Structure 1
Amino acid sequence: MEFKNCVTWEEIIQQPSIWKEELEIVKKNLKSIGEFINRVKGEKVKVIFTGAGSSEFVGNTLCSYVNSKVDIDVLSVPTTDIVSMPEQYLEKDVTTILVSCARSGNSPESVATVNLADKLVKNIHHIFITCNPEGQLAKISKEGENKYLLLMPERTNDKGFAMTGSFSSMVVAGVLILLRENFAELEEKVTYVSNVVEKNIDRILENIEIITDLDLERIVYLGDGALKGLAEEVSLKVLELTGGKLASFYNTFLGFRHGPKSIVNEKTAIVCMMSNNSHTRVYELDLLKEFKNEGGKKKIVVLDTIFDEEVKNNCDYYFSFNDEKLGKIEEVFAGLGYLVYGQLLSLMKSAKLGINPDNPCPTGEVNRVVKGVIIHEYK
């Protein structure tokens, strides 16, 4: 199948232009966002990013970075956990900002989480980051002054099965909202990353063509910090776009040694997403050297922002954006290049397997918007 005929292809490669469009949307709403958040008062305030599937991974990607920059607790808790055990995450007397991330805004757990928060938390405030102006969350946002809606660019409401631009746009939006005081600096970084990714699409495709020709049955993604969240997301893209025919897994570099390494065999590609943090890279390089010394037929693929000769010499396939400035930008933004690489890798592998990436599960066991969930009353 020709992957460039798929809507998913268009939705992946348009992301850099969407990130720039999103900057303008957030800039336009910066004053109202600030006023809304500044109205939130409490002895203790916590922020919970929530969503299901890829929408959950938005919070998983940005929380560690954002927490290092603000003096309030920023957590990532999936709606699927909150709905089944709300008392463990929603505290009655703790002022809470619930940031609901959603492509469609129609997932039953997303709507149920909002209702539970309204019921269980005395001082609750909602921010909805969603891609669908007609979704349930967008409609709920009009019900009261404790709710704020930030709509993503129209093109982020992906028509394909898998979330691509919707995911990356919500990651960028989440960081911009919470670190809005530094908007000008963040805007410059997002714009730079967008331009770098845009001009490297052809090089990415050339590298991926080699990887997709390999005889693979498993793909592992490794990343640290924000890159762990991105590893989780691109790991899901492998499963979704190949209809589960290619197994996938994710972890941190150090965590991978502690048992999960058992997944590796001669038909495994290990995609290592290198950090821009010099201290972190030391540990990542140690694992690359360990892989090299072990030998065997596993395939080590490394993604990098800068060009690093030592890293290149300790892997089988090396892709670098070869950009020193990109190598100085935090991974929550710089890693968006790795995200696009992983999305395209899954797309191309899906097409090589003869699967339609826009509809990889035609029998309906898995759907674009989850079906079959019964929400039970919480007593």
Structure 2
Amino acid sequence: MPVKPPVLPPALAKLHGANDAEKARQGYAHTLREILQQPPTWLGTASRLSGEHTAAMLRELLAAKPAHIVFTGSGSSLYVGECLAPVLQAALGIPCLAIAAGTLLTSRRGVLPPGRGLLVSIARSGDSPESTGVVDQVLAAEPGYAHLAITCNARGQLATRYRDEPRMHVLLLDEATNDRSLVMTSSFTNLLLAGSGLRHVASGDPDPRLADAAAAVAGALVERHGEAIAAAAQRPVDGVAYLGSGAAFGAARESALKMLEMTAGAVRTLPETFLGLRHGPMSWLADDSLAVAFLAAEPSVRGYEYDLLRELTRKGLGERRIVVGESIPADVLGAHGVAVELPGLYALEEAQQLMIHVMVGQLLAFFRCLALEQKPDAPSQGVLTRVVEAFAIHGSGAGA
């Protein structure tokens, strides 16, 4: 069923309605389109997961009974794995962990669990040096591992290099998710949704409608809260702390990276867990800092999060806040808080809740980038590139 496009609030409607030349001049055409296209692309990914070939492939990988599942990637792709690992471990009863591709390249024997496993390589382009470097080394040194690559790029190395390798399986997403912007937005949430497909094949064939509710909540986010998020981004801010518990820490890490990338480092960021903030990082918060809180669905976990936010209020810290959840108590907002109230959020599967949290981070970073008169499609003026530049992959050493 097609997704009804959200009614864009004024801040987004003006940008979206500009002509192509103006969008190109301000450098936001790709990024804005890719943020707004997420709900319909989620439906496409959900349909792909329910397809006979994909469902059979994922069932086959789980039928091999891996002793552990390792998610790997770099940057945003790693944070997809950090979101997925706790969710899938709870659902599958299989130990799951996320390990950076760079860490596997330099320290494989110290971090990769030995024996029978499944290595899930996550990548937008599949062309970053670490992507194939890790797969090559694990294929050679770890015969007990099966491999699954989840990627958005049909022409990338992850999708094409291992066609004759029986241990490699590829889950290829629609080309529309292969974001053209420097930053990953729709690619991130679709890779996250695709990885959660392992849960659905374990409990039965995936439902092609599994993302419908998430798409509706995302539409409500844009319609009801886009203007408030834009206004929060207009105010000068020294730094932004992103808080999430459990799997939501991965969403916090991704949101912090979006702000760092889109402002070319002009806004400092801190991703942290709610309980971890007390152990030193709380001193990071300054008068002009913004705190973004992704509240958990589980009431007992949310109790810890409320306590921390109330403590910040008592101490006069992080009074500027964006709090995302349902039925948000007024006393956790601080003096200048914005409540992103999203009915239906907690009825979503946990991975899909994280997709919504990340969209909040994307919108905040996008508007802050424009407020700083930078270009969201390529804000770093060549310091960063859409695909990491090639570098030498060195042979296995003592740490590998």
Scaled by the length of structure 1, the TM-score of the pair is 0.92
Q: Which of 67, 74, 78 is residue 96 of structure 2 equivalent to?
A: 74
- Partners of 2:333 and 2:130 lie apart in 1 by 47
Equivalence map 1:91-240=2 (5 Å): 94-182=115-203, 188-240=209-261
* Corresponding residue for residue 388 of structure 2: 370
d(CA) in 2 for partners of 1:97, 1:11: 31
Moved more, 11-20 or 201-210: 201-210
Residue 316 of structure 1 pairs with residue 370 of structure 2:
no
Question: In the alignment, what sits opposite 1:343?
Answer: 362
Task: Describe the SS at the equivalent of 2:366.
Answer: helix
CA, structure 1 residues 177+292, in 2 after alignment: closer, same or farther (shift >3 Å)?
same
Q: CA deviation at 1:309?
A: 3.3
Residue ranges of structure 2 left out of the alignment (5+ in a row) = 1-10, 17-22
Matched residue SS, 2:375: coil
- Deviates further, 184-193 or 267-276: 184-193
CA drift at 1:187: 5.3
Partner of 2:3: none
1:22 is displaced (CA, Å) by: 0.4
In the alignment, what sits opposite 2:20? none
Contact 2:83 2:192 in 1 (8 A): yes
- Paired letter, 2:387: V
Aligned-residue offset at 1:205: 1.6
The corresponding residue for 2:105 is 83
Distance 1:99 1:222 in 2: 26
Instruction: Identify the residue that residue 377 of structure 2 maps to in structure 1.
Output: 358
1:36 equivalenced with 2:60 (yes/no)? yes
Q: Provide closer, same or farther for how the CA distance between residues 81 and 314 of structure 1 changes in structure 2, counting only shifts above 3 A.
A: same
Partner of 1:53: 75
Local SS of the residue matching 1:66: helix
State the aligned residue count.
373
1:276-314 residue CA offsets vs partner (Å, 9 max, x unmatched): 11001111111111111122674122111x223345554
1:199 to partner: Cα distance: 3.6
Residue 245, structure 1, aligned to residue 269, structure 2:
no
- Measured after TM superposition, the shift of residue 273 of structure 1 is 1.0
Structure 1 runs (4+) deviating above 6 angstroms are none
What stretches of structure 1 of length at least 5 have no aligned partner? none
Does structure 2 retain, via aligned residues, the 8 Å contact 1:90–1:120? no
**Contact 1:61/1:228 (8 A) holds in 2:** yes
Which moved further from structure 2: 66-75 or 127-136?
A: 66-75
The share of aligned pairs that are identical, in percent, is 29
Whichever residue aligns with residue 81 of structure 1, its letter is: T
In structure 2, the CA distance between the partners of 1:237 and 1:134, relative to structure 1 (3 Å rule), is same
- Could you say which residue in structure 1 is the equivalent of 2:33? 10
Relative to structure 1, the CA distance from residue 282 to residue 186 in structure 2 (aligned partners, 3 Å threshold; closer, same or farther) is: farther
- Cα RMSD (Å): 2.1
2:189 match: secondary structure: helix
Give the letter for the 2:71 counterpart. F
CA contact (8 A) 2:59 2:201 kept: no
- CA offsets 1:214-233 (integer angstroms, 9 cap, x no match): 22010110011121100000
